[in-house]
Amino acid sequence: MKIAVQREDFDLSREVRAFSADKSIGAIASFVGVVREVAMTLEHYPGMTENALKKIVEEAGTRWKVQDCTVIHRVGDLKPGDQIVMVAVASAHRGEAFAACEFIMDYLKTRAPFWKKEAAGWVEARASDDRAAERWK
Amino acid sequence: MKVRVLFFASLREQLGRSQEDVELAAGMDSVEKLRKHLLARGGAFEKAFATKALVRCAVNQEMVQDGAPIKAGDEVAFFPPVTGG
């Protein structure tokens, strides 16, 4: 498992290649979030952020058989087109990998302490994100 | 007892500070009591803490509900609903 909160960009294919050589891995599902339309600055709560992400991945591991997982979230100044977050999950079969990947993103959006600020002000939390996280209960 | 209080994002800006040590009287032993203590300062604090749904809390870096207990030396953070991802 790899959890990283960083200013630097990331390379999805490199992260996926770094997954364990576990022969039982048969599927890798991934998600990359990209900054849309306007520039933003991302603030976070150092220490808590990493712990929150680790807990989310561990929770996914109790629901599906996750062989390996990488979550990277960027902070600082980002512009349209920049990659902001990636989640990659390795499992035996695609169903588990897809589900765990989506679950991790839904929980990340409602439980990991990141805040976006655009030129127009702080971005407000969306009820649709809460609903997306709720359906895993 | 003393606790370290942290503020993030819009709360940090509204209050003009990212952290402070707060001395609490005996019995001020929950997040809810601390929140009300800060709100009672008036001004920017009253405004920032007025709408409960817009202020989330973590104690020692764990997200908690209003009724959660706090003790001396705890790190208590207040922040708006998260917007990462």
Closest Cα in chain B to A117: B9
Q: What is the mean pLDDT of residues A15-34?
A: 94
Among A43, A85, A16, which Cα is nearest to B11's? A43
- Output the pTM of the full model: 0.94
Q: Does B81 touch chain A (CB under 8 A)?
A: yes
Within chain A, residue ranges assigned H as helices are 12-17, 48-63, 94-111, 127-134
Q: What local confidence, expressed as pLDDT, does residue A38 receive?
A: 95
The total number of residues shown for chain A amounts to 137
What is the rounded average pLDDT of the residues A121-136? 91
Instruction: Note the ipTM here.
Output: 0.93
Q: Do B83 and A123 touch (CB under 8 A)?
A: yes
Mean pLDDT in residue range A37-48 = 96
Residues A83-107: what's their mean pLDDT? 98
**Residue contact A122–B9, C-beta within 8 A:** yes
The CA distance from A12 to A16, in Å, is: 6
pLDDT at residue A126 in the model: 87
Which residue, among A111, A115, A126, A128, would best test binding to B if mutated, counting the most B CBs under 10 Å from its CB? Answer: A115
Query: What is residue B20's predicted lDDT score, i.e. its pLDDT?
Result: 97
**Cα A76 to Cα A97: distance, rounded to the nearest angstrom:** 29
DSSP letter at B52 equals G
DSSP state of B69: B
> What is the pLDDT tens value at each position of chain B, 85 positions in all?
999 999 999 999 999 999 999 999 989 999 999 999 999 999 999 999 998 888 999 999 999 998 999 999 999 999 999 999 9
- When CB atoms are compared, the residue of B9, B61, B63 closest to A47 is B61
Average pLDDT, chain A: 96
pLDDT score of A31 more than 90: yes
